[in-house]
């Protein structure tokens, strides 16, 4: 099925070939979106086909992204579709987190079960396939850690050189370690994410390196499958709300596009509403949402949050994200460092766990339930974007009462679970265990 790139800017709407080496519209600089001349009809046939593929041993069918290839038909052939069996992430019921949020029921779609531990793998398998299709030899990204970990892994599988740019000192060790282990050339830059992105966009063009940030429309196509798989797991019964943390806003753009396309193809009857949650210290999209003038993003020059994955002040995909939140009759909320930390500990107590940015979802849901935006009996799915083990430093500091907000203020470890130091003395240990029964 012929695919094209369409400029997202209303006044431009230029169309470009999917084989052009571009990331934004060459005519006006706008964001690009993959469009297809006629997505498949016959939703019932598709649902059956996708269900059958779950039993198949073909790598393409076992991937939780490529299984849904009828909805992301930007390739002519699948020879470049390398896979680490991404996607296939669980929907987990979390009664304790539901109670914490004030809901009757809450489910997590846990993207931390991906091969490199975050939702980035869903998009990266597509981005790397496109790089191979274009004959690129080197790929690059700037990252708060997860994109780089994912790109490093997929580039290694594909035999491409991976060059990653990270803000020096502001990514978690878990993520940095992954990039090193997967063999990426790792450049630690003394600047924040937004500044490095501007730099890398220039360099990619100058050196002919393929850029795999979420400005890349093919990554967005892969990330669409997160909500497609979610609907499949719910037998195509849409929830009332899908909640997602917002950083560079690629996921918000991807989810909204997927929901629109699923409604258009008859896979679901109506779209859930999107709730996007930002950290207060890095909340330009929330500010935009609250402002009377939604045409200009109030950029945050020095974004700050311990949820380093979403420490972004100038998110590139904001025009798409705004459109999608409005289309889905969604909302945007912002939460404090304390709210994120406590919500994260609550997700841990469910036996689930996640990284700090992901916990913004539960903190946001709690706030939105308290203010009456989300009804207590609503059917809510929150997307946990990254694995607990991505940022063990944060976890240890929280549980030992050492977590400090960016300005230096001490955070309260409301649900601390301190490790206990004991002597190698069976009587003392037995006594201590008796006290804690």
Binding site for ligand F0G (CB under 6 A): 118, 120, 143-147, 214, 245-252, 309-310, 355, 357-358, 385-386
Q: For 62-117, give the secondary structure using H, E and C.
A: HCCCHHHHHHCCCCCCCCCCCCCCCCCCCEEECHHHHHHHCCCCEEEEEHHHCCCC
Closer of 46 and 354 to ligand F0G (Cβ): 354
Distance, C-alpha 40 to centroid of its chain: 26
Please give the backbone phi and psi of residue 275, each rounded to the nearest 5 degrees, phi first.
-120, 120
Strands 241-245 and 380-384, bridge-based pairing: parallel
- 229-241 as b/e, with b when 16 or more CB fall inside 10 Å? bbbbebebebbeb
Closer of 145 and 364 to ligand F0G (Cβ): 145
CA distance 122 to 107: 20
The distance of closest approach from Cβ of residue 141 to ligand F0G in the complex, given in angstroms and rounded to an integer, is: 7
The distance of closest approach from Cβ of residue 310 to ligand F0G in the complex, given in angstroms and rounded to an integer, is: 5
Closer of 130 and 252 to ligand F0G (Cβ): 252
The distance of closest approach from Cβ of residue 311 to ligand F0G in the complex, given in angstroms and rounded to an integer, is: 9
188: which strand partners? Answer: 166
The distance of closest approach from Cβ of residue 78 to ligand F0G in the complex, given in angstroms and rounded to an integer, is: 25
The distance of closest approach from Cβ of residue 418 to ligand F0G in the complex, given in angstroms and rounded to an integer, is: 26
Q: How many CB atoms lie within 10 A of CB 89?
A: 23
Q: How many CB atoms lie within 10 A of CB 316?
A: 22
Closer of 46 and 171 to ligand F0G (Cβ): 171
Closer of 219 and 367 to ligand F0G (Cβ): 219
The distance of closest approach from Cβ of residue 382 to ligand F0G in the complex, given in angstroms and rounded to an integer, is: 12
The distance of closest approach from Cβ of residue 285 to ligand F0G in the complex, given in angstroms and rounded to an integer, is: 9
Three-state DSSP state, 360? helix
Closer of 64 and 356 to ligand F0G (Cβ): 356
Q: Which of 162, 213, 169 is nearest to 188 (CA)?
A: 169
CB-based burial label for 310 (10 Å; 0-12, 13-18, 19+): buried
Closer of 107 and 252 to ligand F0G (Cβ): 252
């Amino acid at each position: 099925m012929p695919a094209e790139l369409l400029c997202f800017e209303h006044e431009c709407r230029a169309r470009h070939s999917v084989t052009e080496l571009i990331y934004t519209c060459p005519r006006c600089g706008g964001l690009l979106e993959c469009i297809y001349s006629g997505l498949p009809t016959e939703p019932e046939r598709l649902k059956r086909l996708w269900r059958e593929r779950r039993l198949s041993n073909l790598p393409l069918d076992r991937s939780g992204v490529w299984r849904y290839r009828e909805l992301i038909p930007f390739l002519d052939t699948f020879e470049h579709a390398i896979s680490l069996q991404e996607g296939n992430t669980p929907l987990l019921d979390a009664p304790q987190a539901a109670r914490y949020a004030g809901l009757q029921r809450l489910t997590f779609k846990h993207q931390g079960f991906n091969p490199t531990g975050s939702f980035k793998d869903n998009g990266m398998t597509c981005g790397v396939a496109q790089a191979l299709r274009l004959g690129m030899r080197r790929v690059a990204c700037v990252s708060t850690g997860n994109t780089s970990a994912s790109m490093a892994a997929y580039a290694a599988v594909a035999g491409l050189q991976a060059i990653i740019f990270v803000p020096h000192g502001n990514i978690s060790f878990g993520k940095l370690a992954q990039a090193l282990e997967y063999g990426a050339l790792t450049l630690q830059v003394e600047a924040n994410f937004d500044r490095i992105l501007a730099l890398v966009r220039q360099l990619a063009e100058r050196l002919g390196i393929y850029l795999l940030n979420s400005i890349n429309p093919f990554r967005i196509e892969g990330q669409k499958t997160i909500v497609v798989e979610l609907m499949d797991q719910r037998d195509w019964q849409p929830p009332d709300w899908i909640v997602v943390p917002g950083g560079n806003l690629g996921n918000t753009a991807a989810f909204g596009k997927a929901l629109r396309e699923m409604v258009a193809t008859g896979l679901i009857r109506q779209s859930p509403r999107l709730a996007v949650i930002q950290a207060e210290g890095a909340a330009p999209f929330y500010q935009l949402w609250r402002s009377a003038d939604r045409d200009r993003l109030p950029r945050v020059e020095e974004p700050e949050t311990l949820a380093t994955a979403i420490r972004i002040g100038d998110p590139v995909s904001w025009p798409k994200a705004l459109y999608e939140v409005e289309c889905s009759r969604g909302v945007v909320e912002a939460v404090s460092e304390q709210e994120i930390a406590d919500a994260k500990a609550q997700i841990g107590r469910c036996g689930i766990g996640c990284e700090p940015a992901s916990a913004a979802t539960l903190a946001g849901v709690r706030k939105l339930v308290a203010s009456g935006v989300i009804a207590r009996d609503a059917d809510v799915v929150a997307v946990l974007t990254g694995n607990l083990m991505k940022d063990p430093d944060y976890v240890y500091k929280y549980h030992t009462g050492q977590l400090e907000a960016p300005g230096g203020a001490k955070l309260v470890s409301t649900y601390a679970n301190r490790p206990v130091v004991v002597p190698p003395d069976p009587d003392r240990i037995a006594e201590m265990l008796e006290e804690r029964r």
